[in-house]
Amino acid sequence: MEWHITLKLFATLRAYIPADAEQYAIAPGTTVADIVRDLDIPVKDAKLIFINNIRRELETPLQDGDRLGIFPPVGGG
């Protein structure tokens, strides 16, 4: 069985976005950490994670149809 999510990577993480990000295939039980690893994103660079506009953690499992957004560390002053 294959599920699909919408994957959005922001700012410096855009360099890692796959061609199929709008319908990114995942297996049931896939976590955000699995996707970060599969895309070779350094874990330290995956700072802010949102699933369906709700802040989540790397260990959060994904569901079919989820919208995943990952942001790098944000600087400011």
Position 77 pLDDT exceeds 60: no
Where along the chain do its domains lie?
3-67
Q: What is the predicted pLDDT for the residue at 25?
A: 98
Which CATH architecture best describes the domain 3-67?
Roll (3.10)
Q: Are 41 and 70 in contact (CB under 8 A)?
A: yes
Q: Please tell me the predicted confidence (pLDDT) of residue 72.
A: 97
Instruction: Quick: pLDDT tens for 7-64.
Output: 999 999 999 999 999 999 999 999 999 999 999 999 999 999 999 999 999 999 999 9
